[in-house]
Chain A
Amino acid sequence: MNHFPEGWGRPRDDVYGAYDGSHLKTVQPGAGFNQHTQSPIVTGTSVIAVKYKDGVVIAADTLASYGSLARFRDVERLKVVGEKTVVGAGGDMSDMQYIFDDVLERLMIKESYSPESHSPLLAPHVYTYLSRLLYARRSRLNPLWNALLVAGHDEHDKPFLASVDLLGTTFDGPALATGFGAHLALPLLRKLVPNEEASQNVTKEQATEAVKAAMKVLFYRDARSIDEYSIAWVTPQGVEQSREKLENQSWKFAERIRGYGTQTN
Chain B
Amino acid sequence: MSFSSFQAPSNAPAYSFAKEANSGFREHRFNPYTDNGGSILGIAGDDFVVLAGDTRSTSGYNINSRTQKKVFSIGGYKNSLVIATVGFGADARDLVEKMKRAVEDYKFAHNLRDMSVSAAAQQLHTLLYGNRFFPKYAYCVLGGIDSNGKARLYSYDPIGSYSKEGESRAAAGAASSLIVPFLDNQVEFKNQHTREANGEFVEKAVHPLPLDHVVKLVKDAFTSATERHIEVGDGLQLVIVTAQDGLSEQIVPLKQD
Contact = CB atoms under 8 A, between A and B. Distances in A.
Name, among B66, B88, B90, the residue most crowded by chain A CB atoms within 10 Å (CB to CB). Answer: B90
A170 B90 contact: yes
Contact of B30 (A37, A186, A195): A37
Give me the 7 closest cross-chain CB pairs, A-B, nearest first: A168-B90, A171-B65, A171-B64, A173-B65, A169-B90, A169-B89, A171-B57
Contacts of A195: 66-67
B67 A196 contact: yes
Contacts of B30: 36-39, 138, 141, 143
B64 A169 contact: yes
B36 A182 contact: no
B94 A38 contact: no
Contact of B29 (A38, A163, A173): A38
For chain B, which range describes its interface: under 10, 10 to 19, 20 to 34, or 35 or more residues? 20 to 34
Interface in A173-200: 173, 182-183, 186, 195-196
B240 to A, nearest CB: 24
15 contacts: A36-B30, A39-B28, A138-B30, A141-B30, A143-B32, A169-B34, A169-B36, A169-B59, A170-B90, A170-B93, A171-B65, A172-B65, A173-B64, A182-B59, A196-B67
A143 B65 CA distance: 23
B89 A135 contact: no
Given A167-B34, A171-B64, 12 more contacts: A37-B30, A135-B90, A139-B32, A163-B64, A169-B88, A169-B90, A170-B89, A170-B93, A171-B68, A171-B89, A173-B65, A186-B62
A167 B30 CA distance: 10
A170 B93 CA distance: 9
A164 to B, nearest CB: 9
B62 A173 contact: no
Name, among B30, B34, B57, B88, the residue most crowded by chain A CB atoms within 10 Å (CB to CB). Answer: B30
Contacts of A183: 62
A214 to B, nearest CB: 15
B59 A173 contact: no
Interface string A117-143: 000000000000000000100110101
Interface in B86-102: 88-90, 93-94
Contacts of B33: 167
A196 B66 CA distance: 10
A39 B31 CA distance: 11
A194 B134 CA distance: 38
A141 B30 CA distance: 7
Interface string B16-49: 0000000000001110111010000000000000
A39 B27 CA distance: 12
Interface in A182-231: 182-183, 186, 195-196
Contact of A138 (B29, B32, B64): B32
A182 B90 contact: no
Contacts of A135: 90, 94
Contacts of A182: 59, 62
B124 to A, nearest CB: 19
